[in-house]
Amino acid sequence: MNIPEPDGTDRERLESTNIINALRRGTVPASGLERIAVGLDIEEEVIAKQLDYVALGGGDAKFIRGEYGSGKTFLVARSLEIARSKGFVTSHIVISPASPLHKLRAVYQQICAGLRTREEEHALKTIVDSWLFGIEERILSVGGEGLSDEDLEAATTREIESALAAISETNTALAAALRTYYRANNTGDFPLAQAALGWLAAEPNIGRDFKQKAGIRGDIDDTIAFLFLRGLVSVIHAAGYRGLAIAVDEMETTQGLQRAQREKGYQTLVQLIDALDRGEMPRCYFLFTGTPALFDGSRGIRSVPPLYDRISIVQTDGFKNPRQPQIVLSKFDTSKLEQVALRVVDVYARAYAEPDRERVSHRFIRAMIRKVTTRFGGRVDVIPRIFLKEFVDMLDKCELYEDFNPWDGYEFDFDHLKGELKREEEAVMVVKF
């Protein structure tokens, strides 16, 4: 049965519903972020131009600096959305004690697990398949349709070797794994093909059987993780994408490690920045986030002068320059939250029905912000997630019940939020006695 693709109106309604559903859950929407973004126009333009440069074959990085509530997570999600719209593959990883910055294998594994295109998540298989299909198509266009399956396979494996020659000069395992994946698919040995992809993605516990069949010794480790990342970006570009954009979130957790581990992680950043500057990581874009303490604290980037020198900024007046290595975000304020709420009303209208703008007026939005803010010590910057979750609930009730009056019906009681508040939200909560 042929199911028609949704038209423009249906796609907008689907995206609008997805946005509202995410806000109900207190999460960042997966798409359509430009519809609720406020106050980030200059930053988005700078990142978009960096991506254009990377798409031409350059390599670049940006550090996003801000306190909790400044919108780092939102800007990261929006930046990756922009990257995908420009034809990039993206990946969003989180630095944590389990995946610290100095353990490059764990970082590489996260990148592979999080690969995403405009069409799908967990896209490693699709990317590799597209690359191999493109190789076969080029060979057939030159050799003709009369080429035998055996000749096509032999020519394709030679092309795999040729495409990764620069990587194979240092380590032949990447080409061997991709060659094994290709042949396993051709023979219908799907468990072997899956093992090959798992090994490429640095997944643990890939059996010895695969490595014997592929002629590979050992696994991807910290010493070759960046080399394999370069190879992965080559495959991504050859598969028809502009490059790879990687967001590295919550870098501030590095400060909690022992000194040797911290400094090793920071030295990794020095090596990465230098590799980008030397043109050794073409079509690769990194976006790092961290709190001000990460940049200026005694256990932060300042403790490693070579890194601090590379990413420090000139800030002598009130005019921020996001073209510098760091984008410095200000805390969210009432005006911005009001603008977001008004945009959410517009999105809600596309998802369901036009809200009653008299019941959910701008004046009501301001009053609601005051009620929520009061319970969090007046800190507007920590409440956007909670406020928007509550606000969507008000919109729902106004849409479902004609006699519901938010002015009478709304009183912020956060008992229902117990267990889901984040540490920063709990820290400023005002307890009533």
Q: Are 260 and 296 in contact (CB under 8 A)?
A: no
Does the pLDDT of residue 241 top 70, yes or no?
Answer: yes
Its pTM stands at: 0.86
| Contact of 37 with 294, CB cutoff 8 Å | no
Average pLDDT, the chain: 88
DSSP-assigned letter for residue 218? S
Q: Letter for the amino acid at 302?
A: R
User: What is the CB neighbour count within 10 angstroms for residue 267?
Assistant: 15
Domain 15-117+241-328 CATH class label: alpha beta
pLDDT in tens, 160-194: 888 777 777 778 888 889 889 888 988 899 999 99
Q: Which residue carries 């395992």 as its tokens? A: 173
pLDDT band at 211 (very low <50, low <70, confident <90, very high): confident
| Overall residue count recorded for the chain in this entry | 433
Helix axes 41-55, 72-85, angle to 10 degrees: 40
Q: Which pair of structure tokens corresponds to residue 410?
A: 């709304």
- Sign (positive or negative) of CA dihedral 125, 128, 131, 134: negative
Evaluate whether 80 touches 46 at the Cβ level (below 8 Å): no
Task: Quote the tokens at residue 222.
Answer: 């910290």
Helix or strand or coil: residue 244? strand
- Nearest partner of 17 among 37, 32, 38, 5, judged by Cα: 32
Q: Which of 181, 215, 175, 211 is nearest to 196 (CA)?
A: 181
Read off the pLDDT band of 1 (50, 70, 90). very low
- 139-148, 327-336, 339-348, 403-412: range with lowest mean pLDDT: 139-148
> Residue 367 has which token pair?
């009053």
Residue spans in the chain of domains classed CATH 3.40.50: 15-117+241-328
More confident residue, 389 or 430: 389
How far apart, in whole angstroms, are the C-alpha atoms of residue 214 and residue 414? 57
Q: Find the mean pLDDT for residues 108-129.
A: 95
Q: Which amino acid makes up residue 19? A: I
Residues contacting 175, CB < 8 A, separation 6+: 160, 161, 164, 167, 168
Are the C-beta atoms of residues 296 and 302 closer than 8 Å to each other? yes
- Per-residue pLDDT tens over the stretch 17-56: 999 999 999 888 888 888 998 888 999 999 999 999 999 9
